[in-house]
Amino acid sequence: MPTTLAEKTCTPCRGGVPPLDHAKAEALLAEAPDWSLMDEARRIERGFRFGNFREAAEFVRQIGELAEAEGHHPDIAFGWGYATVSLQTKKIRGLHENDVIMATKIDRIFSRSRGLPAGRM
């Protein structure tokens, strides 16, 4: 049984499920502390910095592979030296546990790309 959100797999969201309330979203974000609640706790977002365009593009490519494997797709903006990732479950127009699962997995990708242990960015 998974002990952290990063060890879980996203589950299909069928809609009709209420989004996380602010308190529950904050509690789950304890496992992804570098992410910020946005839009009255309807989405989460994090910015990432890189040394050049190639590193940012590679990071985005890895997120794309993760998104396809998990069946949960973030919104990503990137350019020279940066990437901004936003997560929301569109079927419920708010946050679901899947969003925070993805955030913790994206944090792990970033940690590996920077040579840092997970959670130390």
Q: What is the pLDDT of residue 3?
A: 73
User: Can you say whether the dihedral through the CA atoms of 60, 49, 78, 11 is positive or negative?
Assistant: positive
- In angstroms, rounded to a whole number, what is the distance separating the alpha carbons of residues 114 and 112? 5
Any idea what DSSP says for residue 48? Answer: E
Beta strands in 1-121 (DSSP E): 36-38, 43-49, 75-79, 82-87
* Residue 2 confidence class, pLDDT cut points 50, 70, 90: low
Q: Is the dihedral of CA 58, 61, 62, 63 positive or negative?
A: positive
How would residue 120 be classed by pLDDT, with cut points 50, 70 and 90?
very low
Q: What is the pLDDT of residues 96-115, one digit of tens each?
A: 999 999 999 999 999 988 74
Token code pair at residue 9: 């797999």
Chain segment 74-91, per-residue pLDDT in tens: 999 999 999 999 999 999
pLDDT at 116: 46
How confident is the model over 13-63, as pLDDT tens digits?
777 889 999 999 999 999 999 999 999 999 999 999 999 999 999 999 999
pTM: 0.89
pLDDT value of residue 1: 56
pLDDT the model gives residue 113: 83
Surface-to-core class of residue 69, CB atoms within 10 Å of its CB (0-12 exposed, 13-18 middle, 19+ buried): exposed
In this structure, which CATH number among 3.20.20.70, 3.30.10.20, 3.40.718.10, 3.30.1360.20 belongs to the domain 20-114? 3.30.1360.20
Q: Answer whether 99's CB lies under 8 Å from 89's CB.
A: yes
Q: Is the distance from CB of 30 to CB of 100 less than 8 angstroms?
A: no
